[in-house]
Chain A
């Protein structure tokens, strides 16, 4: 018996199939406010498969499949089926999407202009975006910034925000419980809990934003702001992109346009409050 759910996040339509009902039930609850895809075909398919058929009865464990696979991807215990689905959705987009330049970055918007936060896991980009998205910013996405190849606009991709470890408690106390997913303890990335983006982020996910500021957050680094030149931004952004090489010259041109037209800074900060204050201060300095 196969269980499945289809949904659209920004420009990407997904179909998730699972050998088990539980992960699909959780996805249905958390993505309840998201539209169904318009057509019959999904851009990305994610399959959560039993590692071996009889494992369903003995020790359920989830293998992630889909259009693209990583052969040595960890099988996850069934209790982490939601994480497997989210990892699978990320993977399909990271490897398969060609309509935008994909940059590993979170992004928030105000007045039609966006702040991109670019950084590796642990830099605090997801947490900062989640917290700003609970204030007077609109969350565009916590994981991927989708940069238009022709117009240089960011397409919102407001999937569930993946909160890790200490970030979980920070966000839990600010949002109602019905916007939080189950607490997933002891995953390969530590404790994880998903946050459903605020309703405005989902309702306005057709509405793009023009990049106005690029931030390279460094959680735990000494507090301060350092200017990042176009050359350094170019190198760091190409390293942060999952499809830059695949896109060829249009990707090169879009990246060049971004680093030449949008100012970039690195910020060190020791707490979320400090990080959010730094974003507001930098924003206030930018003339619209």
Chain B
């Protein structure tokens, strides 16, 4: 099995690192590790909430988001979720590995 074939796990921040404060319609996130403030829109805070419970691969994240938020499964969901995960990675809020 090559590395590329392994399901890639996404890791969220350790408990207590982020302070999330909803200010409708956004969620302001204070990152205690970096001192940075991020302003996030759905589904970013929801992705962070899924990963709070532990690392997960993209299929598991997608399934949980669909279940918790009553979203209809859609072939396009996976690609959008992958984009959002990459954006959270750029912000330093999630890691892949």
A residues near B (Cβ < 8 Å) are 229-231, 234-235, 238, 244-245, 248-249, 252, 256, 259-260
Contact = CB atoms under 8 A, between A and B. Distances in A.
A235 B19 contact: no
Given A231-B26, A256-B28, A248 B35 contact: yes
A231 B24 contact: yes
Interface of B: 19, 21, 23-26, 28, 30, 32, 35-37, 39
B24 A252 contact: no
A50 to B, nearest CB: 39
Given A234-B39, A235-B26, A252-B28, 11 more contacts: A229-B25, A230-B23, A230-B24, A231-B23, A231-B28, A238-B37, A245-B35, A252-B19, A252-B30, A256-B28, A259-B23
Contact of B23 (A244, A248, A249, A256): A256
Closest 8 CB pairs of A and B: A231-B26, A230-B23, A252-B30, A231-B23, A256-B21, A234-B23, A248-B35, A249-B30
A120 to B, nearest CB: 20
Contacts of B19: 249, 252
A238 B36 CA distance: 11
A217 B33 CA distance: 36
Nearest to A238: B37
A245 B34 CA distance: 10
A149 to B, nearest CB: 14
B28 A234 contact: yes
B25 A231 contact: yes
Contacts of A229: 23-25
20 contacts: A229-B24, A229-B25, A231-B23, A231-B26, A234-B28, A234-B39, A235-B26, A238-B37, A244-B37, A245-B36, A248-B35, A249-B19, A249-B32, A252-B19, A252-B28, A252-B30, A252-B37, A256-B28, A259-B23, A260-B23
